[in-house]
Amino acid sequence: MLETYAINLERLKEAAKENGMLLNPDQERVRKVVGLMAKNYDLTQEWICPCKQTVKPAEKGKDITCPCEDMLEEVSEQGCCFCKLFYTEEKVKEA
């Protein structure tokens, strides 16, 4: 799982960068979400979002993957996504 975690963290950092966002400055929150997502990936080969997950344990094709299609709208409206993983630069300064 450590390799999956590292791959996922880099993937999410790149997604944040591509969309002009940052990851949450709370490293514990990032570790938790990225770790649970990596665990889901090891089970399903899909980056299933643990925060919006409805089927437990995760099953392929049954849940939302991250980054989800709502992420940009959530960040635009609230300064962060539902999972508190992706943040605007302004929201990071507030944290």
Residue 60: alpha-carbon gap to chain centroid: 17
Residue whose tokens read 């944290």:
95
* Strand stretches in 32-77, DSSP E: none
- Are the beta carbons of 77 and 24 closer than 8 angstroms? no
> Domains of the chain (ranges plus CATH)?
2-94 (3.90.460.10)
Estimate the share of the chain in helix, then strand, then coil, as percent rounded to the nearest 5.
Answer: 50, 5, 40
> DSSP labels for 63-74?
S-BSS-TTHHHH
Residue 61 confidence (pLDDT): 96
Q: How confident is the model at residue 27 (pLDDT cuts 50, 70, 90)?
A: very high
Specify which residues 22 forms β-bridges with.
87
Over residues 38-87, the pLDDT tens digits come to 999 999 999 999 999 999 999 999 999 999 999 999 999 999 999 999 99
